[in-house]
Chain A
Amino acid sequence: QKEVEQNSGPLSVPEGAIASLNCTYSDRGSQSFFWYRQYSGKSPELIMSIYSNGDKEDGRFTAQLNKASQYVSLLIRDSQPSDSATYLCAVEAGDSSYKLIFGSGTRLLVRP
């Protein structure tokens, strides 16, 4: 069973701080990685996608990928109360099926 692991949290950070969210995965064949944000009662929305090792920055968000360590992370700089949500890590299955396997999510709380 291919797995994606996340700490369920909650991760609590003060407003303006950096929030660091982590994810590990078991399928060495995975090539595509995604971070989604989900507010309570809503569907997931895409934050970042990353396909190659290293860092990818988009505004206050930075995704980091290390395929050798099977590790992907999301950094949120200058965290805002509106960032409070559950963050889902998704990893494409390495069997060319285009399926995404999701972690159970990390709940982030940004304290004003």
Chain B
Amino acid sequence: DVKVTQSSRYLVKRTGEKVFLECVQDMDHENMFWYRQDPGLGLRLIYFSYDVKMKEKGDIPEGYSVSREKKERFSLILESASTNQTSMYLCASRSGDSPLHFGNGTRLTVT
């Protein structure tokens, strides 16, 4: 069974802090994704990666960056956290056209 693990379930950070959200998958999936989910706006793609060191912008990349140094790990970085980045962040992975498998999510609050 695919397991996608996000390092934190809840995070509280201050405005201007640099924030790292970590995600690890154990199924050797090539593709990894970061989404954020907000009430009324659904799931929106921030960044995705289809291989080590490769990344592509999603629909809302502003204020975020990512890192994929190893195949199993995909990190989302908030360079300078702002209150409008308070959200639920979901990491996911997939191989080819298989379904997307989600982690448990990180609920980030920026104060």
Partners in one complex: yes
Chain A interface residues toward B at CB < 8 A: 31-32, 34, 42-46, 49, 51, 88, 90, 92, 97-105
The B interface is mostly helix, strand or loop, or mixed, namely strand
Chain B interface: which size bin? 20 to 34
Return chain A residues, CB-CB under 8 Å to B74: none
Instruction: Decide yes or no: A103 and B99 within 8 Å by CB, A43-B90, A98-B31, A98-B50 being known contacts.
Output: no
B56 interface contact, C-beta 8 A:
yes
CA distance A48 to B44 in the complex (A): 21
Interface stretch (choices B61-69, B79-87, B100-108): B100-108
CB-nearest residue of chain A to B32: A98
Return chain A residues, CB-CB under 8 Å to B33: 99-100
Contact indicator B97/A43 (Cβ below 8 Å):
no
Contact indicator B99/A99 (Cβ below 8 Å):
no
Contact indicator B102/A98 (Cβ below 8 Å):
no
Q: Chain B, 70-99, contact with A by CB distance < 8 Å: what is the 0/1 string?
A: 000000000000000000001000101101
Return chain A residues, CB-CB under 8 Å to B40: 104
Please tell me which one of the listed residues A31, A88, A105 contacts residue B97 in the complex, with CB atoms under 8 A apart: A31
Chain B interface residues toward A at CB < 8 A: 31, 33, 35, 40-43, 45, 48, 50, 56, 58, 90, 94, 96-97, 99-105
Smallest CB–CB gap between A2 and chain B, Å? 10
Question: In the complex, which of the residues B48, B102, B105 has the most CB atoms of chain A within 10 Å of its own CB atom?
Answer: B102
CB-nearest residue of chain B to A45: B102
Contact indicator B43/A46 (Cβ below 8 Å):
no
Return chain B residues, CB-CB under 8 Å to A51: 97
Please tell me which one of the listed residues A46, A88, A97 contacts residue B50 in the complex, with CB atoms under 8 A apart: A97
Instruction: Decide yes or no: A34 and B99 within 8 Å by CB, A43-B90, A43-B105, A88-B43 being known contacts.
Output: yes
Return chain B residues, CB-CB under 8 Å to A90: 100
